[in-house]
A and B are shown apart, each in its own frame.
Chain A
């Protein structure tokens, strides 16, 4: 770091350019990001608190909340276990095809959720690979909770892994090697050495994964079948109410997910203060020591 000997005006520090830039970005930011958040609150309570409470208390809404929470309770822990396993394998060992595996894990991140939903239909649907077999065995995967969980797992598969891998890559293997050479078992090494070192990054990945699972719309809308009161998750229930011309109800349901989004962001900021959070993707591929995180 350069010591602060003097305050030389840096590029763009002129008062006019400064004001124009701050003003313009705040203006567009308010329109594009802040206004949607405000309009959700205004519309949700537009018909009064009573109407709001009635929507939330409606059995269909409560069932949608139940479906969303149930999906998250299964998909998030499974994805977390996967993320830990993938990060351990990829960062603690050298094996052939390591880079390729990294690319495959990141695939869901760049694929349209609709494509994911359609793809799952061709595995478990009647038109798909296992559909007739599952039908014969009377196992319901599509248009039921298992299908919703599977599609959510696809969409969020990289979330935990991609937080852990760059961090564990940067931390190297020395500590784990020392622990095992001193006689600690693999699990002991993992729980007492690795996990404490990555706990904030892990939690960060879990928080983001949970937000995405609870909010997933495209992939879930293909595999759920949209059966009111049965296979509707909260985002699908919002769509149903909205297209039923129950805008206030839709916004009341949306306000729950908007609250979740705000809580997610607050948790994210809190975790970033503890050093979690992503460095630029470029650093993931290098073996350089961990550069400072954003403050």
Chain B
């Protein structure tokens, strides 16, 4: 092994560890300690209360629908941006990042205004009996917005690097466009799609700012888990807030583990090919 001649390890690693410990690890540890101080029976009573369970249901279901929509829409958008040339393409490519750049509170009030029953889109949908704002549908719209860039931005580079020879080979063998897409192109995109999918889903589960404006926030119906933790805090019920926040934290860690696992598998997959 080569001896490392570069200086600065103690200083840079010292700063890094200190900062990570103070800013990231300490607060999360404090939260875990607080939640653990409850005792199993009390903890379980809080996290399995009907209102908490209803909040998990609406959060997870909305996140699933939003992620499914973004899977299709994000893939289509990435495809259109990579494969077609049309006026305005570069602007669209840039604007895809708007959900990352626009503060969530701003997105929240804008989407609510658009989809309220007297808003531009809400008024169009009202005659059909479709209400978006202040219903679970509104939560899904907000989640679609905030997590839109993930799948586009993970799929886009892979699609750009796709070797045209693969398609040409399939075409020369007489494959139809749809058959080539499903059997040649899509399998190559799957690692990127999965990575984008897990990022998008995790973001939807934790989103707060954009959702609380449009959701209506009715307990048992349109109250997301993050908001429930916030409400418990405002009621000075710190233990319940800690318990519910810990559920979100555990979910985030599980998602993180799943993402890392997927990436490791995808790496092995690309290393083989």
Contact = CB atoms under 8 A, between A and B. Distances in A.
Given A112-B226, A114-B208, A181 B5 contact: yes
B208 A103 contact: no
Interface string A254-295: 100110111011101100000000111110011000010010
Nearest to A173: B6
A235 B209 contact: yes
A90 B20 CA distance: 13
A102 to B, nearest CB: 10
B92 interface: yes
A131 to B, nearest CB: 10
A294 B156 contact: yes
B6 A112 contact: no
A139 interface: no
B83 A215 contact: no
A90 B98 CA distance: 31
Interface in B130-181: 141, 144-145, 148, 153-154, 156-158, 160-161, 164-165, 167-168, 171, 177, 180-181
B41 interface: no
Interface string A15-41: 001100110111011011111110110
Residue of A43, A264, A265 with most chain B CB atoms under a 10 A cut-off: A265
A119 B245 contact: yes
Nearest to A94: B4
A189 B28 CA distance: 36
A88 interface: yes
A113 B97 contact: no
B16 A85 contact: yes
Please indicate which of the listed interface residues A93, A112, A217, A242 has the most CB atoms of chain B within 10 Å of its own CB: A112
Given A110-B252, A186-B6, A261-B98, A250 B109 contact: yes
A235 B263 contact: no
Interface stretch (A4-12, A49-57, A195-203): A4-12
A120 B242 CA distance: 11
B4 A93 contact: yes
B98 A37 contact: yes
A144 interface: no
Which of B6, B103, B120, B238: most chain A Cβ within 10 A?
Answer: B103
Contacts of B209: 113, 217-218, 235
A32 B106 contact: no
24 contacts: A11-B180, A28-B73, A32-B141, A33-B95, A34-B95, A39-B114, A40-B110, A92-B9, A104-B24, A107-B28, A108-B24, A110-B202, A110-B256, A119-B245, A121-B241, A122-B238, A154-B23, A154-B24, A208-B100, A238-B109, A264-B101, A269-B94, A280-B158, A286-B267
Interface of B: 4-9, 11-13, 15-17, 19-20, 23-28, 30-31, 33-34, 73, 76-77, 79-80, 83-84, 86, 92, 94-107, 109-111, 113-114, 119-121, 141, 144-145, 148, 153-154, 156-158, 160-161, 164-165, 167-168, 171, 177, 180-181, 185, 191-192, 195, 202, 205-209, 213, 226-227, 229-230, 233, 238, 241-242, 245, 248-249, 252, 255-256, 259-260, 263, 266-267, 270
